[in-house]
């Protein structure tokens, strides 16, 4: 009998503070809880110290046997003048035939319980309405996966009718196509919240999350499953992934040797067919002792091509001397190139000076901006090219100098020949081999490798971690680049310094509308508002900005001097001061 009581009390459904009687098939009371003793004492059915167990049920609930038709239902009975609810209950496992329990609720003394019951019922109804109103699909199962609740949204999201799954087990719904595994089973197995992605019958993507609800004993009591349609998010994710793959392939066009290294200071790259052809010709003529004329717009990298020729030649271990013909005033050009003897002219060094051509003995001389060379000096250069003889200013004897001459210009020398501003014989002497360096806008495939190279260089210089983005690279490739490689180099340095994020954006570019004012005006505004910078520093900052812009727009020092209304020697000195006299 004690075993029967234990089985009854182990059932969570009948654990209660209400009076509880357990009876056998003969209507004998086999068990009464403490609440039952208190209740029956209060209505004088038993005296203090009296027993309930072993007595007939009729002694306590007189009209129970007369209500055989209602034995399985709740009914009202008058007990000691009190109206009470009698609730029959049964163990889940009916091991003993005829054993049942009766729960007694005093309707008069338990009004607060009735109010609580009404409140709980209303609360349960509200919760049901809330769950039904959820936009996400919600499904509730027990630990075995039996479906206990399904809201309308779950029908829409999972594309399963409520009547098809209500009361069924999730294992019955498993489908190798759209539900290969139930999240309820995974949650029951792992005892933690689990999310999995599933595909519905129509091909929509849904995210299903199962969350376990634990009972007082730590076991899973219920599993709440939330289903959300993520088709749009999934499509966006797929699109983003494809974009990232495209960007990765795009960025991978950079030569691996250029990524993350700046050991060579290399600036001549050849991804485009046009530039490959130019560099191939440069390498081909490297070991032929002929003059080479490199043509191209300002900033395309003519000096770098000249360096390439020198470094690929047998003279690579000898000097490479760069002479910018437009940066040297006409009156000093001869003395700078050929040198002078002591006392050759007023202000000359007493010891004399070796010319730039002599300093390049055995190596290569690069004469940049040859088109700006004065007409009267061109004949002297022609004689040097023919004889290799150098005669210092003020000297009587000549000296043979073994140098290779490479020249470059951004001008149309043929047009200058027709105009009479450039000697025809010198033109043909210089133009034995001509290498045309295409402008950056005509070799778009070189923009990304160059940008990556400069970015690596300036990240290292300024201790930054900036990175290229796909949109930025596309904008760089769409830009016309009037300043060519020199402008790209300056832009990348600007981005490394001024960008607020590690991922460089299109809005960071200086030419985007509304991004900044005119460069000079912006500098003026900044300097005017700076209370710390001194007047001299402010003047130098503005001067450098103006010279940078003028160098990009006009190229030669002679034209810059004309536009800024100053002497050419002043421009040459200023360009050298600010490091702007390099190609």
pLDDT in tens, 537-581: 777 778 887 888 788 777 788 888 888 888 888 888 888 888 787
Q: What string of pLDDT tens digits covers the 583 residues of the chain?
A: 455 555 555 554 445 568 889 988 888 989 888 888 888 888 888 887 788 899 988 888 887 777 655 555 778 888 888 888 888 887 655 545 667 888 888 776 656 666 666 777 777 777 778 888 888 899 999 999 899 999 988 888 888 888 888 888 888 877 766 677 888 889 999 999 999 888 888 888 888 999 999 988 888 989 999 998 888 777 777 777 777 676 666 555 554 444 444 444 555 778 889 999 999 999 999 999 999 999 999 989 999 999 999 999 999 999 999 999 988 888 888 888 998 888 666 666 777 888 899 999 999 999 999 999 999 999 999 999 999 999 888 888 889 999 999 999 999 999 999 999 999 999 999 999 999 999 999 999 899 889 999 999 999 988 999 988 888 888 998 898 989 999 999 999 999 998 888 888 888 888 764 444 455 555 565 556 555 566 777 777 788 878 887 887 777 888 888 888 888 888 888 888 887 876 5
Residues 48 and 102 in one domain: yes
Q: State the helix-helix crossing angle for 231-251 and 470-478, rounded to 10 degrees.
A: 50
Instruction: Indicate which CATH number applies to the domain containing 392.
Output: 3.40.50.300
* Cα distances (angstroms) measured from residue 36 to each of 11, 27, 110, 479: 18, 17, 14, 92
Cβ 186 vs Cβ 195: under 8 Å: no
Residues 209 and 307 in one domain: no
Residue 152 lies in a domain: yes
Name residue, tokens 């960071």.
Answer: 508
Residue 214 lies in a domain: yes
Residues 368 and 459 in one domain: no
Distance of alpha carbon 96 from alpha carbon 418, whole angstroms: 124
pLDDT score of 255? 42
CA 486 to chain centre: 29
Residues 66 and 198 in one domain: no
- Of 229, 255, 283, the last residue of a domain is 229
Among residues 206, 249, 254, 196, which one has the least CA distance to residue 229? 206
Instruction: Indicate which CATH number applies to the domain containing 161.
Output: 3.30.450.20
Domain range for 13? 2-109
Residues 65 and 189 in one domain: no
Q: What is the pLDDT of residues 391-415, one digit of tens each?
A: 888 888 889 999 999 999 999 999 9
Cβ 366 vs Cβ 582: under 8 Å: no
pTM of the model: 0.50
Residue 117 lies in a domain: no
Residues 431 and 458 in one domain: no
* CA dihedral sign, ordered 367, 370, 372, 375: positive
On the 0-12 / 13-18 / 19+ scale of CB atoms within 10 A, 539 is exposed
Residue 348 lies in a domain: yes
For 271, half-sphere exposure in the C-beta direction (CA atoms, 13 angstrom radius) is: 21
Residues 459 and 516 in one domain: yes
- Of 171, 194, 229, the last residue of a domain is 229
Residues 173 and 204 in one domain: yes
Residues 430 and 476 in one domain: no
Residue 188 lies in a domain: yes
pLDDT score of 500? 84
Residues 343 and 403 in one domain: yes
Alpha carbon dihedral 488, 492, 498, 501, in 10-degree steps, equals 130
Residue 245 lies in a domain: no
Residues 372 and 427 in one domain: yes
Sequence-distant (6+) residues with CB within 8 A of 413 are: 293, 295, 370, 371, 422, 427, 431
Residue 116 lies in a domain: no
pLDDT score of 259? 43
Q: How many residues comprise the chain?
A: 583
List the 147-150 sheet strands across, edge first: 147-150, 137-141, 220-229, 205-214, 194-199
pLDDT score of 315? 93
Residue 317 lies in a domain: yes
pLDDT score of 12? 46
Domain count, the chain: 4
Residues 291 and 390 in one domain: yes
Instruction: Indicate which CATH number applies to the domain containing 512.
Output: 1.10.8.60
- The pLDDT mean for the chain works out to 82
Name residue, tokens 């050759």.
Answer: 344
């Amino acid at each position: 009998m004690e075993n029967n009581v234990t089985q009854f009390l182990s059932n969570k459904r009948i654990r209660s503070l209400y009076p509880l009687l357990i009876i056998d098939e003969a209507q004998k009371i086999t068990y009464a809880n403490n609440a039952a003793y208190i209740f029956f004492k209060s209505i004088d059915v038993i005296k203090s110290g009296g027993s309930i167990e072993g007595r007939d049920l009729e002694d306590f609930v007189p009209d129970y046997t007369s209500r055989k038709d209602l034995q399985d239902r709740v009914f009202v009975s008058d007990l000691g003048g009190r109206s009470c609810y009698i609730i029959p209950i049964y163990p889940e496992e009916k091991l003993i035939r005829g054993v049942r329990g009766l729960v007694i609720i005093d309707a008069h003394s338990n009004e607060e319980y009735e109010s609580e019951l009404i409140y709980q019922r209303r609360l349960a109804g509200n919760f049901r309405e809330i769950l039904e109103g959820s936009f996400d699909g919600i499904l509730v199962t027990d630990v075995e996966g039996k479906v206990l609740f399904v809201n309308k949204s779950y029908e829409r999201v999972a594309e399963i009718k409520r009547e098809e799954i209500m009361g069924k087990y999730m294992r019955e719904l498993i489908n190798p196509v759209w539900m290969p595994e139930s999240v309820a089973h995974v949650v029951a197995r792992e005892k933690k919240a689990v999310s999995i992605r599933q595909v519905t019958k129509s091909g929509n993507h849904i995210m299903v999350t199962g969350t376990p609800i634990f009972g007082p004993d730590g076991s899973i009591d219920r599993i709440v499953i939330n289903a959300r349609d993520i088709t749009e998010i999934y499509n966006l994710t797929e699109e983003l992934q494809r974009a990232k793959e495209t960007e990765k392939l795009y960025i991978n066009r950079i030569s691996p040797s250029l990524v993350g290294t700046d050991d060579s200071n290399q600036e001549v790259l050849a991804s485009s067919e046009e530039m490959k052809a130019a560099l191939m010709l440069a390498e081909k003529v490297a070991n032929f002792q002929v003059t080479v004329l490199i043509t191209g717009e300002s900033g395309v990298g003519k000096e770098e091509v000249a360096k390439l020729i020198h470094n690929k030649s047998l003279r690579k271990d000898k000097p490479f001397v760069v002479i910018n013909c437009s940066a040297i005033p006409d009156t000093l050009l001869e003395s700078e190139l050929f040198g002078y003897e002591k006392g050759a002219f007023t202000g000359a060094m007493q010891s004399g000076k070796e010319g730039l051509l002599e300093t390049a003995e055995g190596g290569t001389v690069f004469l940049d901006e040859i088109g700006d060379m004065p007409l009267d000096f061109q004949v002297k250069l022609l004689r040097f090219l023919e004889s290799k003889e150098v005669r210092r200013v003020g000297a009587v004897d000549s000296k043979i100098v073994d140098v290779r001459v490479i020249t470059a210009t951004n001008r149309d020398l043929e047009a200058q020949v027709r105009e009479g501003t450039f000697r025809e014989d010198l033109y043909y002497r210089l133009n034995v081999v001509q290498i045309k360096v295409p402008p950056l806008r005509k070799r778009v495939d070189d923009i990304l490798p160059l940008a990556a190279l400069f970015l690596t260089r300036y990240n290292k210089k300024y201790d930054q971690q900036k990175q290229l983005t796909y949109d930025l690279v596309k904008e760089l490739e769409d830009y016309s680049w009037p300043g060519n490689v020199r402008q790209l180099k300056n832009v990348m340095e600007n981005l490394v310094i001024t960008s607020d994020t590690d991922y460089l954006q299109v809005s960071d570019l200086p030419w985007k509308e509304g991004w900044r004012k005119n460069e000079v005006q912006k500098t003026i505004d900044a300097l005017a508002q700076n209370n710390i910078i001194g007047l001299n520093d402010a003047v130098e900052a503005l001067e450098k900005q103006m010279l940078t812009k003028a160098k990009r727009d006009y190229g030669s020092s002679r034209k810059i001097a004309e536009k800024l209304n100053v002497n050419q020697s002043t421009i040459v000195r200023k360009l050298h001061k600010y490091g702007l006299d390099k190609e």
